[in-house]
Structures are given as C-alpha cells and as structure tokens.
Chains A and B, each alone.
Chain A
Amino acid sequence: MTAENPYIPNFATIEDSWYETGGDRCIKTFKVVFTDPAVRDGWSHKPGQCAMIGVLGEGESMISISCSPTEGKFLRFSVMKMGKVTQALHKLETGDQISVRGPYGNSFPIDEWQGKKILTIGGGIGQAPLRPIVEYVKANRDKYAGLTMIYGARSSGDLCFKGEFDEMSKCDDLSCHLTIDIEEEGWSHNVGFVPQMLLDLNPSPENTIAVTCGPPIMIRFVLENLKKLGFSDDQIYTTLENRMKCGIGKCGRCNAGGMYVCKDGPVFNYSVLKNIPEAFA
C-alpha cells in the first residue's frame, strides 16, 4: 500500500505527564513530542481540533488537543481514566510512547473572532478543548478585545490546569472566574454551578463570542442562559464528543443527526446545532 494510509498512526514520546485531578476518574495530562522530526516539523493544528491517541494493542480514543499551536512544537492531551484505552494511557509515564493520528475535525474559527471579546465557559474536563483558545488569545492579545473565562468543577480537586489561572488575574483584558459546586474549606472563590455563575456575571453579548464545553447537562443550561442574556445563535459555539473509531468519517458511528462529529465537528455553532435534536440526547 503506497498511498497515504490515514489509519497508520505516528508515535510521540511523553516528555512530561502529571495528574490534574485525583480519584477513580482522574485526569492525567500528557505533554508529547513526535519521535520523527519530520512529523514534528510538518505538524500543524488549530484550536478545537482533536487527535486519535492510544496504545498499540489496546486501541485509540479521540482526545482534544488541549494546547494552542502558539505554545510550541509539542502536543498536550488531558485524558480522563474511563475505559480500556484511557486506562492503558494512564499507565504510561515520561519516556513512554503513544500513538497519535490527526489532527482531526474542524476548529474554532479563531481568526474570524479577531477583534471580539471571547467568553469561555467550561466545566470539569470540558476545559481541555477550551484551553487552546485561552492560550491562543494570551499569545495574540492585541488581536482580541479581551477574554473572560468561567470555569467550574465539582470540587477544587476536580479543576484542571490549576497553575495557569493566577497569571490571568494580573491582566486587564483577561479575567478568570472559578467556581465549585459545594462549599469547601480554603476556597476563596465563588461557590455555585457554572450556568448560575454565568447569569450572575451578566456578560454583555455585544461583540462577544461565547464558547462552552462540559457535561451535557451543563451545556444545556449554559445555552439556555446565554440566550437569556441576549446572545444570538451564531454568537455561541460548543464542542461535542461521541464514540469514535476511525476519526475520519468512515466508520459511521459518531454522527449526531447528519453531522459526523469527527469531521463536521467537533466544533459546532449553535445555529447549526439547534436543528440537531440528537446532539442534545
């Protein structure tokens, strides 16, 4: 087979890895670099895209690339330990290799958003696909009118990327609003659910793009509240997930209505999504 075979993975070495959260469904972040320098140099991705990563012999999972291309020639993936493949990934340490295929999917139209205010609303591991937006805006501050980040989780232990928020509070145009579901000793920030915090903050929809990702139930309420706040459908973006196997629109299973999440998504504008009931199943 001489033609390019999209099913053959590349390999990347884990340069660094650490746990974001603990517990049964802990989240581990992997910072990986392609072993083949040609692949490393030839790679480019945009915020919002994902890759099929895995372990040969176990399988692959579609994980969002949670770093912005502005950060360097490496990739970051934040993986929650859930099933066969993710359990195998969690057993790996710095120096081990993972298989990577990608980048797949569409991306956030980050260039179209230039000049606007960006509002990201994330919950739990849902912050992982939103992080590239935050990092991209941080690296291109003059091109955007500011970024507001709302991020919540069940408890402070369930928040990802904890070390990265302090820096944001030092900037005028970047703000970070954290919240956790239940009161906790030592927690000085907000307590409450993310959709409610959104309403409380009452951001103006003017010249603003809202992007949300998190558990399905949170997305539902966030979308409702964004509409209450006066956001129009085309100002709202989300990123979906579904069970995937091929990642390139062939195996058929990831469709939400007529949209394949691996190809027509994972990024969707709400004006498209509101006509796809299956996306909210």
Chain B
Amino acid sequence: MSAMLLSKEKWPQFVGKFAGKNLWAPKLEGEAMRFSPVEEGETPLLEFSNTRIPPKSAAFPQTETMFRFQLGNQEIKLPELGEEMILMGIRPCDARAMSIVEKLFRWDYDDPYYLERRNLITLIGLACNEPGLNCFCSSVGGAPDSTEGLDLLMVDLGDSFLMEAVTPKGEAVLKEAEDLLEKAGSEALKSREAITAEAGSKIRRTVDHKGIPEGLPALWDDPLWARVSASCIGCGTCTYLCPTCHCFDIQDEVEGFEARRCRMWDSCMFEEYSLHTSGHNPRPTRRERTRNRINHKYNYYVDKFDVIACVGCGRCINLCPVNIDIVEILRQVKEAL
C-alpha cells in the first residue's frame, strides 16, 4: 500500500477536497473535543489528545431508529441509513475498538444497522505522537501507530503528514488528493519510525494482564470487588465514553399513531440493566456490576472472541467522577491472583 507525504501548508486544501463529503473531525465544543461535521472552508487543527466522546457513535449512534410503524398496522418502515462518512483524525485505539466491537455485531447474526454504517465510513487515523496521561494502549495489544481498523493512517512528522494507506478505501483517498501529495522518501519513513517509537516510550501507564483472563473466574468472591466498587456512584460515564462498550436498550416510542422502535446506549452499571420485572436482579449491587464489567472486558470477551475488549484509551480513568481507575483495579486483580 502506498505511503505519501502531505506538506502541512497544503493541509487546508486536502481538507477542502473532502469537506463537502460528510467529513467529520475533532472540534472543540465548549471545553471538550468532539467529532463534528466539518463545514466548507473549515480546517480542523488536529491538535488534541483524544475526543471526550469516542467516535463509536459514527457506526453505533447513541440513539438510532430501527424501524417505524403505525399503531394497529403491521407495516414496518426501515430507515435510510444515510450517506457515506469520512472520520478524520480518529486515534488508532478508537479504530481498533471498532474492529473489536464488530466481532460481536457479526456473531452468528449480522447486525445490519452497525455493519452498514460501518461500511459507509472511511477512517482516516492520526497516530499519537504524545500519548495521554492515562493511555495504556500498548499493554492491551494496541500501539500509537496501530493500523487495525483504519483505512488510512496519518503520522505527524512536524512539517508534513505521512499518509499510509491501509485498505483500498485509503488508497482511494490518496488517489483523490494525489495532486497535493508527494511520494514519501526513506527519510520521511525513518522519521516516522523514530516518532512513533518515541511515542511508545512515552506511554506512562501499563497493565500486566498475563494470566488475568484465565484467572478472573477464580476471583469471583474476592473482597477486592467490594473494595474497588465502594465509591462507585453507578453513573454511565465509563461505559458511554468507552469505545468498546456496545450495550444497548430497545424501546418503542409512540406519539399518537406514529411510532418507532429505537435502540439507545445502555450501561451495565445502571441497576435496571439486568432487573427482572419480578423484582429479582442477578446483579443487585454496584459490586456485582463492577465485577461484571471487568469480567466482560478481560474474560468473557476473550473467551468468545480472543481479544481483550479494552483498548487502553484511558477515557474511563480521566472522567470517572470518583477516580475509579481500571489500571489500578487490574493491578489489584493481578495481585490477588
């Protein structure tokens, strides 16, 4: 696959080629970076650590209509899934998360909503030169320059961007902008190696998960779960901001005679998540729900899909209101093993 160079002077023009094609890039909204549509004439700056809300909502929107119908009528109207989309500036961890979640949405039954949206997206990633304070992607199978899930990877070389195509979609992007690009020479490639190696060495937090997926069942009744979940307030922040979390609720909404069945993000940390109508709840307290969350990511998902469902993006650590830290929890798990 080709590797081309884009001089930063030509960056606004590069963006201009795609701005009219449903281009999304990180933008500052208030105090947080969020993926937002890029208007014609706008140039995203790409100077950020990572977005607050992960871009999983491009393929898995927070609220999505599954179908519409009218009360008393059996006619089901499927929604139009819309146009193609280009996500520019997605970090390798978030793209990797999309491929991890895709395994579940393909498990036996194909989830048409997720998969169709996913196919409509072209992912242009941006390698991390400066990992965030709580990033630990390299501990869980990722890297600051991982290409898993991406169509094109951009590496910031200082005065230019190195653009590496990963898939034919990525090649198509390069082809479209070929008048702005130059072939990447060996110097550029060497510079890229040095930058990403340095980025890797700057990752400050690590998780030693060797033995954790197999060892977690034995720790089912360990007091550590009560300890780490004592201060949890049971909000949905960690799950909503997690790029690999994929749980959802399905609700029918009726207004007059018009109705729709829609799905929306749900969180296993909410009490009602597993509450039976009889009042019985297999996970009655936050201790069981915290234990379930960690087990799901580091044990159950590994059993089913051979990959840890955590990409080390650090968002849950950054935004947990009470500083419940998954790196710390895993350290305690490792200790208890």
Residues of A within 8 A of B (CB): 1, 3-9, 11, 35, 56-60, 82-83, 86, 97, 216, 241-243, 245-246, 248-258, 263, 275, 277-278, 281
Closest Cβ neighbor of A252 among chain B residues: B247
Q: Give 22 pairs: A residue, B residue, CB < 8 Å, sorted on A.
A: A1-B78, A6-B109, A6-B110, A6-B111, A7-B113, A7-B261, A35-B74, A57-B252, A57-B259, A59-B252, A82-B277, A242-B276, A243-B274, A245-B250, A249-B104, A250-B105, A252-B247, A255-B292, A258-B295, A263-B107, A278-B282, A278-B288
Cβ-defined contact, A249 with B277, below 8 A: no
Q: Let me know if B248 is at the binding interface, CB within 8 A.
A: yes
Q: Which A residues are in CB contact (< 8 Å) with B295?
A: 257-258
Which of B76, B250, B274, B300 is close to A246, meaning CB atoms less than 8 Å apart?
B250
Closest Cβ neighbor of A82 among chain B residues: B277
Cβ-defined contact, B74 with A250, below 8 A: no
User: Contacts A57-B259, A59-B250, A82-B277 known; A252 to B116 CB distance under 8 Å?
Assistant: no
Chain-A contact segment, one of B64-72, B124-132, B163-171, B225-233: B64-72
Q: Which A residues are in CB contact (< 8 Å) with B268?
A: 252-253
Min CB distance, A86 to chain B, in Å? 8
Q: Which A residues are in CB contact (< 8 Å) with B275?
A: 243
Q: Let me know if B296 is at the binding interface, CB within 8 A.
A: yes
Which of B108, B220, B274, B292 is close to A248, meaning CB atoms less than 8 Å apart?
B108
Q: Which A residues are in CB contact (< 8 Å) with B76?
A: 8-9
Q: Let me know if B209 is at the binding interface, CB within 8 A.
A: no
Extra contacts, 18 of them, besides A245-B248, A249-B108 (Cβ < 8 A), are A3-B112, A3-B115, A3-B116, A4-B110, A5-B78, A5-B112, A7-B67, A7-B250, A9-B76, A56-B74, A58-B252, A243-B277, A248-B109, A251-B263, A253-B268, A254-B274, A258-B295, A275-B217
Min CB distance, A51 to chain B, in Å? 14
5 nearest CB pairs, A to B: A252-B247, A83-B277, A258-B300, A281-B282, A82-B277
Which of B66, B249, B250, B300 is close to A255, meaning CB atoms less than 8 Å apart?
B300
Cβ-defined contact, A256 with B282, below 8 A: yes
Q: Let me know if B251 is at the binding interface, CB within 8 A.
A: yes
Which of B66, B74, B112 is close to A97, meaning CB atoms less than 8 Å apart?
B74
Q: Let me know if B246 is at the binding interface, CB within 8 A.
A: yes
Give the CA-CA distance A106 to B329 in the complex, in Å.
35
Min CB distance, B100 to chain A, in Å? 14
Closest Cβ neighbor of A216 among chain B residues: B280
Cβ-defined contact, A255 with B220, below 8 A: no
Cβ-defined contact, B303 with A258, below 8 A: yes
Q: Which B residues are in CB contact (< 8 Å) with A253?
A: 247, 266, 268, 273-274
Chain A contact residues: helix, strand, loop or mixed: loop
Binary flags per residue of B5-41, CB closer than 8 Å to A gives 1, else 0: 0000000000000000000000000000000000000
Chain B contact residues: helix, strand, loop or mixed: mixed
Q: Which A residues are in CB contact (< 8 Å) with B252?
A: 56-59
User: Contacts A5-B78, A6-B109, A59-B252 known; A251 to B282 CB distance under 8 Å?
Assistant: no
Closest Cβ neighbor of A104 among chain B residues: B109
Give the CA-CA distance A251 to B108 in the complex, in Å.
14
Q: Which B residues are in CB contact (< 8 Å) with A4?
A: 110, 112
Cβ-defined contact, A263 with B108, below 8 A: yes
Q: Which B residues are in CB contact (< 8 Å) with A251?
A: 247-250, 263, 266
Q: Which A residues are in CB contact (< 8 Å) with B110?
A: 3-4, 6
